[in-house]
Amino acid sequence: MSDRRENSIEMNVNMLVMILFLGLALYEPVAGQSAADMAAYKQNQEACIKELNIAAADAAQLTADKEVANPSEAVKCYHSCLYKKMGLLSADSKPNNDMILKFAQLRFSSLSADKFRALLASCGGTKAATTCDFVYNFEKCVVKGAKA
């Protein structure tokens, strides 16, 4: 009876090790994808800052998710540029909520998906005359809500 019990324990340990190994193997591509997504996000931030000729002080505020006091038109268009490059806006400048949710979870990892969906719904109702103004106000609303 003792041998049977030892074999059972050994099988359970081996099974646990295999499950753990498989879990780690599956986790790595997800972690790698997140790192790749964040790298692309940072690269697109730099590209938009350069394209829009945004001053260094304002760029530092934008990349730290901080509000820029008295934003220029270029600063207001920064998020529109970034959203377009990241595929967060459709061709007709409508927010792609699934993609926005994906990247928001990278940026605001402590925020639950449900809370962020609620933010998307409330912030998405923002009205503005231009795409730059809409995305700027949308982003301000989301960041404020995420940090609340």
- Whole-model pTM over 0.85: no
From the list 125, 121, 113, 116, the residue with the least C-alpha distance to 143 is 116
Q: pLDDT for 63-77, tens place per residue?
A: 888 889 999 999 999
Q: How far apart are CA 140 and CA 65, in angstroms?
A: 9
Q: pLDDT for 18-66, tens place per residue?
A: 333 333 333 333 344 577 877 888 899 999 999 999 999 999 999 888 8
Q: What is the pLDDT of residue 32?
A: 44
Confidence of residue 17 (pLDDT cuts 50, 70, 90): very low
Mean pLDDT of all residues in the chain?
75
Cβ neighbours, 10 Å, residue 103: 18
Q: What is the pLDDT of residue 58?
A: 94
Q: Do residues 111 and 104 lie in contact, with contact meaning Cβ atoms separated by under 8 Å?
A: yes
